[in-house]
Amino acid sequence: MKRSVNTVEDKILVLDFGGQYNQLIARRVREQHVYAEIQSYNRITAQEIKAAGYKGVIFTGGPNSVYDAASPHYDPEILQIGVPILGICYGDQLLAYMAGGRVDRAENFSEYGKTTVFFDDDILFRDVPQKGVCWMSHTDFISQPPAGFAVIAHTDQCPCAAMCDPDRKLYGVQFHPEVTHTEYGEQMLANFLFPICGCRADWKMEDFVERSIEKYRGELAGKKVLLALSGGVDSSVAAVLLHKAIGRNLTCVFVDHGLLRKGEGDFVEKTFRDTFGMNLIRVQAEKRFLKRLTGVRDPEEKRKIIGEEFIRVFEDEAKRLGKIHVLAQGTIYPDVVESGKGDSAVIKSHHNVGGLPDVISFEKIVEPLRTLFKDEVRQAGAQLGIPHALVWRQPFPGPGLAVRVIGAVTEEKLALLRDADAIFREEIGAAGLEEETNQYFAVLTDLRSVGVMGDARTYGYTVALRAVTTDDFMTAEWTRLPYDVLERSSNRITNEVTGISRVVFDITSKPPATVEWE
């Protein structure tokens, strides 16, 4: 099946050596309006890099030492193809090693964290003061730069904090310019991108949106296209973009699995059918999902069932619709990059609603957002006129409230949770705290406890409130919500939701906890 992608003029390759900041580097480049894409070091050759016309290559950091037998290396031919290179941390050491320099273990000084770096006068440090705080994380260091390279920065401990071979446009920095702890890191990246690589700043969301609409208008002319709309940011933006391109030839199927938050199903239906005038089918499949979830307590089992059932419902709908040529999906760039990674332990199998149906054959799949990071998807959404509430909607797991009702899921428990969650969200909204916390919700624990109301004994469920502050959801802090917001939420939940008699606030960060309870 053919996949269709967008193309732009000037692009940078982020060559991934297993560093934790690979996506961050690409995002930082794109923030400067230069398109960047990530490739694992072992999936592309020097000749392919040259042929693809990259304006520059950034070697990422990585956990290895260049002398480990198993450490990732790269074909030294890359130094000869005339493309500027910036090596970062391990990438810097690898560059030195490949070019014939010497890397040693820093027995007495591993630098970790904020470190003052002294910069020389070099194009890489144009408009950067003579010293600045940079983020370091290394135990190896370059003890002897390769022939043709000059040292252009140092620290009190490290003799070579940056190096360059200006003739071949090869640069290396021991620190991480991409992290916010590095002062002037943005300026250094800009210096690499513009004067060194000669990039144009032509990666702009308005252009992307316009170009994509044009492209799909041509490519999908006369084709019937089907898209699974969840109401989440990604599928919504993909839907509106394609709708602008092909109008009613796009059919959106919104599988309402009955596990959405209060009022959400109606909101999705109203927004897309009434506001955007889309061809939308809302499938009310709550009964089907609940039946399959009966008595299931294990979170992974819930995810599996919901993922499978979703595909079955979607397939049934697609079959009813007759001939459909193309399947559209809201895949975004981190999904593409992450799925190329090796195997790390599965903590949660984040089944996203919208897996691929396997009994229907499509001529092709289109993924209009396949090259975008989440913040870019939001920008595209804003460009397309999607309401703010939807573009900035907090993340909501595909399996929905099923993973927020701890233990077996029933209609009654879902109703309790929906009401409690709506109150909590209302109170956060009323206090104007929506931007202060990145995700906030209620969880219906499986615990019942004794309470007293009036003169009567109650025996109701305990609800947990959760609010987290995070950049990337990989790690998270619990949000320090004001006591009065917590108090109002607690009072209202216990007063207004019969069946809930106790409210607790989750004060665990991630790690060790995860954001969701299941």
The single residue among 398, 404, 443, 445 that binds ligand XMP, judged by CB under 6 A, is 398
Minimum Å distance from CB 345 to ligand XMP?
A: 12
Q: Which two tokens stand for residue 501?
A: 């008699």
Is 231 a binding residue for ligand XMP by CB under 6 A? The answer is: no
- Per the annotation, the verdict on 176 as an active-site residue is yes
Minimum Å distance from CB 515 to ligand XMP?
A: 3
**Residue closer to ligand XMP, measured from CB, 192 or 440:** 440
State the DSSP code for 194: I
Could you tell me if 181 and 114 are in contact, meaning their C-beta atoms sit under 8 angstroms apart?
Answer: yes
Is 304 a binding residue for ligand XMP by CB under 6 A? The answer is: no
Minimum Å distance from CB 335 to ligand XMP?
A: 10
Is 473 a binding residue for ligand XMP by CB under 6 A? The answer is: yes
Q: How many residues bind ligand XMP (CB under 6 A)?
A: 15
The packing angle between helices 483-496 and 411-430, to 10°, is 140
Is 234 a binding residue for ligand XMP by CB under 6 A? The answer is: no
Is 303 a binding residue for ligand XMP by CB under 6 A? The answer is: yes
| Stretch touching ligand XMP by CB under 6 A, among 378-386, 397-405, 415-423, 444-452 | 397-405
The single residue among 34, 337, 405, 515 that binds ligand XMP, judged by CB under 6 A, is 515
Please enumerate in sequence order all residues whose Cβ is within 8 A of that of 136, keeping only pairs 6 or more positions apart, or say none. Answer: 111, 112, 113, 114, 115, 155, 158, 174, 175, 176
Minimum Å distance from CB 294 to ligand XMP?
A: 20
Distance CA 340, CA 41 (A): 12
* Backbone φ, ψ for residue 507 (5° rounding): -115, 40
Minimum Å distance from CB 397 to ligand XMP?
A: 3
| Stretch touching ligand XMP by CB under 6 A, among 47-55, 93-101, 161-169, 345-353 | 345-353
Could you tell me if 36 and 25 are in contact, meaning their C-beta atoms sit under 8 angstroms apart?
Answer: yes
Minimum Å distance from CB 32 to ligand XMP?
A: 28
- Could you please report the per-residue DSSP string of 401-444? GGGTB-SS--HHHHHHHHHHHHHHHHHHHHTT-TTT-SEEEEEE
The single residue among 115, 352, 462, 501 that binds ligand XMP, judged by CB under 6 A, is 352
- Per the annotation, the verdict on 243 as an active-site residue is no
Q: Which residues of 315-343 are buried (b: 16+ CB within 10 A; e: fewer)?
A: ebbbeeeeebebbbbbbbbbbbbeeeeee
> Which among 37, 111, 178, 264 is annotated as catalytic?
178
**Residue closer to ligand XMP, measured from CB, 149 or 310:** 310
> Which among 134, 138, 160, 176 is annotated as catalytic?
176
Show the binding pattern over residues 399-418: x = contacts ligand XMP (CB under 6 A), - = does not.
Answer: x-------------------
> Residue 386: helix, strand or coil by DSSP?
coil
Site for ligand XMP in 435-464 (CB under 6 A): 439
Could you tell me if 404 and 441 are in contact, meaning their C-beta atoms sit under 8 angstroms apart?
Answer: yes
Distance CA 241, CA 252 (A): 12
Distance of CA 246 to the CA centre of its chain: 28
> Residue 320: helix, strand or coil by DSSP?
helix
| Stretch touching ligand XMP by CB under 6 A, among 211-219, 336-344, 392-400, 413-421 | 392-400
Site for ligand XMP in 482-511 (CB under 6 A): 510
Minimum Å distance from CB 109 to ligand XMP?
A: 36
Handedness of CA 479, 483, 485, 488 (dihedral sign): positive
> Which among 89, 134, 158, 197 is annotated as catalytic?
89
Q: Which residues of 482-491 are buried (b: 16+ CB within 10 A; e: fewer)?
A: eeebbebbbe
Catalytic center residues: 89, 176, 178
Which residues lie near ligand XMP (CB under 6 A)? 303, 348, 350-352, 395, 397-399, 439, 473, 510, 514-516
